[in-house]
Structure 1
Amino acid sequence: MEKTNTGNEKIDLTIEEERMNSSIEKSLYNPDGWSMWKRLRQFMIAIIAITLAVYVIYYAAAGGLPAWQHRAVFTSIFLILCFSTFSYRKGKEPGHLLFDAVPLVLSIALLGHAFFSYPEIALRQGASTLFDQIVATVMILLVIEGVRRTIGHAMAILALFFWAYIFIGPIFPGILGHQGFSYGRMTDALYTTTNGIFSDPIYVASTVLILFLIFAAFMMRTGVGQFFIEFAFALTGRIRGGPALASVLSSGLLATVSGNGAANASMTGPFTIPLMKRVGYTKTFSGAVEAVASQGGQIMPPIMGAAAFVMAEYTGIPYIEVAGYALLPAILFFTVVGVVIYFQARRLGLEGIPGHQLPNFWKLVAGKGYLILPLVIIIVLMVSGYSPMRAGMWALLSVFILSLFKKESRLNVMAILAALEKGIRNAVPTVMACAGAGIIAGSVIMTGLGMAFSRFAVEMSGGQLLPLLLLIMVASIILGMGMPTVSAYVILATVAAGALTQLGVPVLVAHFFVFYFGIFSGITPPVAITSFITAGIAGSNPLRTSVYSLRVGMAGFILPYMLVYNPSLSFDGSVPSIIFGIITALLGLVAFAGFIEGCMLKITAVWERIALLVAAVLLVTDHLWTDLIGLVLLAVVFIYQWRGNDKSTTVGISTEY
């Protein structure tokens, strides 16, 4: 819904309250024609979600069940939420006796088994019974079906294939084959230990991720989401192309809290996209900018989504170091996206929004700036050595305390319960993805496929780094299509990151390489989930929007190579070399943005565009002579355009992409 006006009134940036309503609120106060059965079902789902949220917070503060039991209980409860919320047919209400009720009953049985079978099941590792094998099979099948309902067919089929690969591996030729495994070995690998379904992704989901999703729900309830949007428009709205720049800033801020590009696009898109269209951007460009900003928020610290926490577990590197390493590339990415927007604004001759229609920046900061303190607390605590889980717990407490300061942000009992429920229910697709990724990762580790793929990739590349990077990039994009970031990252980290480390790429750089491509596969056609969502909001063609998202967010596909070839971005080297490397990296991305848009200060001639492309390529690597040549080429184009800018105009040029 468009939230703008054409007069002199201020732009309405208010988030619709309906978007915040939870099942417990609707079932008690807003039935909206619901039957008594539906109200009761939604109320019970809300109670389950709230109970789990309270347990998660208690677990963060004081601990709880043993590791395997905690993860099994957590996964089983989310299976219950999945099958009571998502029908076997998309768009339908759950209620089918066979395809909805039976999985729900089985999920409840799995919950009972997780409670009452421990510690006996742990003592039977290596000697699983027939009953253990049946229970493991039921859990695996329910997880795969949960993935299908919440994520889609692609990942469900992939998880099913890797599970089957444990048994059919002997029929595969060469390095792709293995000797085969018994059903008991499979049960131990995927169910009765913490190496399969209940491995690191579920551990992260059940401790850190879920806590931060509850934190995000409380932040939205107290008005932080509203503050981010108003802050972004107050800061950038007056600049040429301001609404698009504000979209990048607000969506990036919100996505770093939510950790979910598609969900963030659904939240901010209805406000930012109409504003971009209003000042003259095409609907395709508007949808593309929102998609890139929302997806890119997952690379921006301090909260980068589940995949970054899983990366910390996989690499053994503290999360605060992972986040610190990600900060500079994230700043470069959003800076270059802003440059693309500015170049497009010059190309179309667009201006910003009049100041009287925007929030007053200083009044906004003075009145609501305190709402940003929970994010500051997270950073300070993690820098001080606190774990992400403990930092998230204290940040959650700070949100509640800060909400008491003003009447409009104060949380009553119902608002607290609704936020607890919202945080849990928002996590259902991600937890299903983590469980599915556990099946895949467990199968890969058990069969040795990860090592086999690494050897295969190195052989295919001839032992050369650049061909290997290109090969892994293609594999990352293909595997990441249609999957949540955490699923894509887990798979890629398991099968591909090892190949890079074999050729001398540092461990963290290798993981970031696949991490970035896993994220930006969300805006890569033909399956670009986030771009498709923003296309629906903008009223543009989904495929065309995803293609332009790729164009706007092209920096995300260059940054991973810069991390590999430019040690300065890893703060490796002397201070002058690091500063010089950062500057050349930024200018290289700016040059590439000019090449992509065909415009800087004005529309570029053919020779200028070619020079910008050559400059961008030369500035990727950290070599003095290539950097100097690239800088000279960029300077020549800029000076030529600047000196001739008064002789050529770009106003009024508009193309529907």
Structure 2
Amino acid sequence: MEATDVKKLDTTIKEKPAHIETLWHERKKKWNGARLFILIISLLAIGLSIFHVYTAGFGTLPSWQQRSVHVLWALLLIFLLFPFRKGKKFGLMDVLIVGLTIVTAYYMITGAEMIQSRQGNISHGDVVFGTIFIALVLEATRRTNGILMSLIGVFFIAYIFLGRYFPGALAHPGVRYEKMIDHMFNGTLGVFSAPIYVSSTVLILFVIFGSFLMKSGGGQFFTDFAFGLFGNKTGGPALSAVGSSALVATITGNGAANAAITGSFTIPLMKKLGYSKRFSAAVEAVASQGGQIMPPIMGASVFIMAETIGIPYIQIALFALIPAVIYFFIAGMVVYYHAKRLEMAGIPKEKLPNLRTVLLKQSYLFLPILLIIGLMIYGYSPMKAGFYAIVATIVLSWIRTATRMSLLDILAALENGAKNALVVIAACATAGIIVGAVSLTGLGITFSRFVIDVAGGSLILLLILVAGASIIMGMGMPTVSAYVILAVLGAPALIDLGVNVVAAHMFVFYFGVLSGLTPPVAITAYTTAGIAGSNPTKTALYAMKIGLGGFFIPFLFVYNPELLLQGGDTTRMVIAVASAFLSCLFFAGALEDYFIGPLGVVKRVVLFVSAILLVMPGLVGDLIGLALVIFLILWQKRSSTYVSQNSNQMSG
């Protein structure tokens, strides 16, 4: 790929055509069973999106009905789109499961009010169809999220009945089967609890909004903007990849999906300009995965976090802003130091999008995101803000011919939005089973006591244990699933030891996100490795190095909640933020073995120690850290002068 291809990003940043578009363009071909099957799936996906856009704008159904329709519709689509055996065609088992789903949907939708009224005194029909429904949820999760997530759901159901066989504080007397079904199915404490509430009202709407924004050219604008801003700087291609992937990923909310979208352009470009395959893939992985922590939209987990701790989403986004900026600042500085060390230049300006032109012609595509922020600050719910943002995206796309959305584009965006949401809907439904099991058995309280006892009451040891558990839980499953499990198990333990509530939930959220970079199941890193043609495990390990600041940041805001704008006065917050940025600047230099010039082992240690001292609470640590850096800078300049003089003498 030539550097001049930077001006042709639209062919790589846009989504693949939806089935409805493909069918329309091939409409003259003979219709057969396969085309009819595709059309049915497309219409079901479009219908699911229309249902959610309509209810967002004009009012939802009663709670249980809204959530059940949401899950059942998604289940039907999942069973039509994802075969029973991966890579195989739609077969007899799929036909049977689809039929079972339709029968279950009929029972639940036609008898919704009666099912709810029987809470505490359920019928035999509720037991039968509740059992089938839970089994369908777990099967849909297996197909979309993998066997691990499904088995975790099965484990928590088994724990409900087998509690007496667990050791110590984790033991409980066990629960009758009918009570379990009543809890999981007939009310809103199990499958239809907080994760599905968020999924059926806010989450899917923002996924649909992201689909509309990408279809209207928003992804193109973000990429053009990033390359116009950073492309000609030292390390420009990699810095541009960090910037564009961060912007696009905050819309998609999925690290692996974003890596596939933007990585197909940024990785070949970085390789063409001299970066190694491993480095190119690792940079893209770090940036794509980090999009989930970058406001204003972030990933799905944050909406559930807002519901869990009872804080408006817009406030959570505000609290998350500084740590997210620090994360990308570290990644950007690692890239910059890497380029300086290897003396790699940027892309010539004439081969880049003109930043002024990009802003003049395309900046209006950013207005829907500003609208979301403004509406939520003004007091609108995220659901209403998402609805108006979708409408605004369509209207704004008509400003220019190049971005104008036709009816077919709108239908394709609706279809893509619904399909993109299926993985998260299935994960949220199984997360609801886990939440239901925890509330039914009282596991949340007992687990908190258990891990505090294991940590011996030590906060740092508890943080390490919870961080490890978060990474393990996040392997091979969506961040939302990992967060929900740890929000009910790990976060309460941190809060019990005095950690700020927001910091505790952000801590487990961050490590759930970073599991996408952590072997052996580093799904985002493996996606970028496939694009780059590099070794997956080596790519994941290198991504961990570039993104190491992300593993460092959660510990920072636990001990310095001012970074989350929690506690302390303005002066303390300013000092904490300034210290954190300086620390990250030095931390990145120590990682990449470059600061003003090449470092070497001793200087790297000095720089790393100064980075640690700057984030430790208290003024003394800051002063010692700054003194060490000043000493290092003088040492570096003296070494540079000495080398220069020797070089001149030798040349003379």
- Inter-partner Cα distance in structure 1 for 2:31 and 2:87: 18
The answer to whether the aligner puts 1:312 opposite 2:306 as a matched pair is yes
- Inter-partner Cα distance in structure 2 for 1:590 and 1:272: 24
- Inter-partner Cα distance in structure 2 for 1:136 and 1:32: 45
Which residue in the other structure is 1:321 paired with?
315
The answer to whether the aligner puts 1:624 opposite 2:619 as a matched pair is yes
8 Å Cα contact 1:403-1:409 kept in structure 2: yes
8 Å Cα contact 2:192-2:429 kept in structure 1: yes
- Inter-partner Cα distance in structure 2 for 1:580 and 1:37: 66
8 Å Cα contact 1:616-1:630 kept in structure 2: yes
- Inter-partner Cα distance in structure 1 for 2:96 and 2:23: 24
Aligned positions of 1:134-145 closer than 5 A: 134-145=128-139
- Correspondent of 1:638 among 630, 633, 639: 633
- In structure 2, give the amino acid aligned to 1:30: E
8 Å Cα contact 2:326-2:581 kept in structure 1: yes
Which residue in the other structure is 2:270 paired with?
276
Which residue in the other structure is 1:202 paired with?
196
- Correspondent of 1:91 among 77, 87, 100: 87
Q: 1:576 to 1:86 in 2, by over 3 A?
A: same
Q: Which moved more, 1:635-644 or 1:593-602?
A: 635-644
Return the offset for 1:16. 4.2
The answer to whether the aligner puts 1:615 opposite 2:621 as a matched pair is no
The answer to whether the aligner puts 1:146 opposite 2:140 as a matched pair is yes
- Inter-partner Cα distance in structure 2 for 1:646 and 1:425: 60
Q: Deviations over 1:430-468 (max 9, x none)?
A: 111111111112112211111111001111111121111
2:498 aligned counterpart, secondary structure? coil
8 Å Cα contact 1:10-1:356 kept in structure 2: no
8 Å Cα contact 2:256-2:288 kept in structure 1: yes
The answer to whether the aligner puts 1:168 opposite 2:162 as a matched pair is yes
1:88 aligned counterpart, secondary structure? coil
Q: 1:647 to 1:411 in 2, by over 3 A?
A: farther
- Correspondent of 2:2 among 5, 15, 19: 5
Return the offset for 1:541. 0.4
The answer to whether the aligner puts 1:519 opposite 2:516 as a matched pair is no
The answer to whether the aligner puts 1:589 opposite 2:584 as a matched pair is yes
Q: Deviations over 1:499-530 (max 9, x none)?
A: 01111111111100101001111111111000
- In structure 2, give the amino acid aligned to 1:280: G
Which residue in the other structure is 1:251 paired with?
245
Which residue in the other structure is 2:405 paired with?
411
Q: Deviations over 1:291-316 (max 9, x none)?
A: 11011011111101210000000000
Q: TM-score, length-normalised on structure 2?
A: 0.96
- Correspondent of 2:33 among 28, 33, 37: 37
Return the offset for 1:35. 7.1
- Correspondent of 2:44 among 26, 30, 48: 48
Identity of aligned residues (%): 47
Which residue in the other structure is 1:574 paired with?
569
* Shift >3 Å, 4+ stretches: 8-11, 16-20, 30-35, 642-649
Q: 1:564 to 1:230 in 2, by over 3 A?
A: same
- Inter-partner Cα distance in structure 1 for 2:635 and 2:135: 63
Q: 1:183 to 1:343 in 2, by over 3 A?
A: same
Gaps of 5+ in 1: 650-657
- Correspondent of 2:57 among 40, 57, 61: 61
8 Å Cα contact 1:476-1:517 kept in structure 2: yes
Q: Which moved more, 1:420-429 or 1:112-121?
A: 112-121
Q: 1:10 to 1:545 in 2, by over 3 A?
A: closer
- Inter-partner Cα distance in structure 1 for 2:83 and 2:142: 11
Which residue in the other structure is 2:67 paired with?
71
Which residue in the other structure is 2:486 paired with?
492
Which residue in the other structure is 2:294 paired with?
300
Q: 1:398 to 1:18 in 2, by over 3 A?
A: closer
- In structure 2, give the amino acid aligned to 1:581: A
Gaps of 5+ in 2: 645-652
- Correspondent of 2:419 among 418, 422, 425: 425
Return the offset for 1:603. 2.2
The answer to whether the aligner puts 1:233 opposite 2:227 as a matched pair is yes
Which residue in the other structure is 1:655 paired with?
none
- Correspondent of 2:470 among 468, 471, 476: 476
The answer to whether the aligner puts 1:336 opposite 2:330 as a matched pair is yes
- Inter-partner Cα distance in structure 2 for 1:9 and 1:429: 33
The answer to whether the aligner puts 1:376 opposite 2:387 as a matched pair is no
The answer to whether the aligner puts 1:565 opposite 2:559 as a matched pair is yes
Q: Deviations over 1:371-392 (max 9, x none)?
A: 1100110111111111111111
Return the offset for 1:23. 1.2
- Inter-partner Cα distance in structure 1 for 2:200 and 2:634: 55
Q: 1:31 to 1:183 in 2, by over 3 A?
A: farther
8 Å Cα contact 2:13-2:265 kept in structure 1: no
Q: Deviations over 1:303-356 (max 9, x none)?
A: 012100000000000101100000111111111110000111112111100111
1:639 aligned counterpart, secondary structure? helix
- Inter-partner Cα distance in structure 1 for 2:481 and 2:314: 22
Which residue in the other structure is 1:600 paired with?
595
- Inter-partner Cα distance in structure 1 for 2:42 and 2:643: 61
8 Å Cα contact 1:602-1:648 kept in structure 2: no
- In structure 2, give the amino acid aligned to 1:92: K
- In structure 1, give the amino acid aligned to 2:2: N
Return the offset for 1:643. 4.3
- Inter-partner Cα distance in structure 2 for 1:381 and 1:609: 47
- Inter-partner Cα distance in structure 2 for 1:57 and 1:119: 24
Return the offset for 1:153. 1.4
Q: Which moved more, 1:523-532 or 1:585-594?
A: 585-594
- In structure 1, give the amino acid aligned to 2:531: I
Q: Which moved more, 1:283-292 or 1:58-67?
A: 58-67
Aligned residues: 643
- Inter-partner Cα distance in structure 1 for 2:379 and 2:638: 53
Q: 1:633 to 1:26 in 2, by over 3 A?
A: same
- Correspondent of 1:550 among 536, 541, 544: 544
Which residue in the other structure is 2:284 paired with?
290
- Inter-partner Cα distance in structure 2 for 1:535 and 1:242: 21
Q: 1:647 to 1:228 in 2, by over 3 A?
A: farther
8 Å Cα contact 2:145-2:427 kept in structure 1: yes
- Inter-partner Cα distance in structure 1 for 2:180 and 2:460: 37
Instruction: State the Cα RMSD in Å.
Output: 1.7
- In structure 1, give the amino acid aligned to 2:358: L
- In structure 1, give the amino acid aligned to 2:273: V
Q: Which moved more, 1:615-624 or 1:280-289?
A: 615-624
- Inter-partner Cα distance in structure 2 for 1:604 and 1:192: 64
- In structure 2, give the amino acid aligned to 1:124: R
- Inter-partner Cα distance in structure 2 for 1:47 and 1:370: 31
Which residue in the other structure is 2:649 paired with?
none
Return the offset for 1:199. 0.9
Q: Deviations over 1:227-285 (max 9, x none)?
A: 11111000000010101100111000011111111110110001101111122211111
Which residue in the other structure is 1:528 paired with?
522
Return the offset for 1:69. 1.2
Return the offset for 1:31. 7.6
Return the offset for 1:616. 2.1
8 Å Cα contact 1:31-1:39 kept in structure 2: no
Which residue in the other structure is 1:653 paired with?
none
Return the offset for 1:30. 3.4
Return the offset for 1:570. 2.8
- Correspondent of 1:393 among 359, 364, 387: 387
The answer to whether the aligner puts 1:540 opposite 2:534 as a matched pair is yes
- In structure 2, give the amino acid aligned to 1:178: H
- Inter-partner Cα distance in structure 2 for 1:30 and 1:160: 44
Q: 1:526 to 1:54 in 2, by over 3 A?
A: same
The answer to whether the aligner puts 1:26 opposite 2:49 as a matched pair is no
- In structure 2, give the amino acid aligned to 1:617: I
8 Å Cα contact 1:27-1:40 kept in structure 2: no
8 Å Cα contact 2:13-2:220 kept in structure 1: no
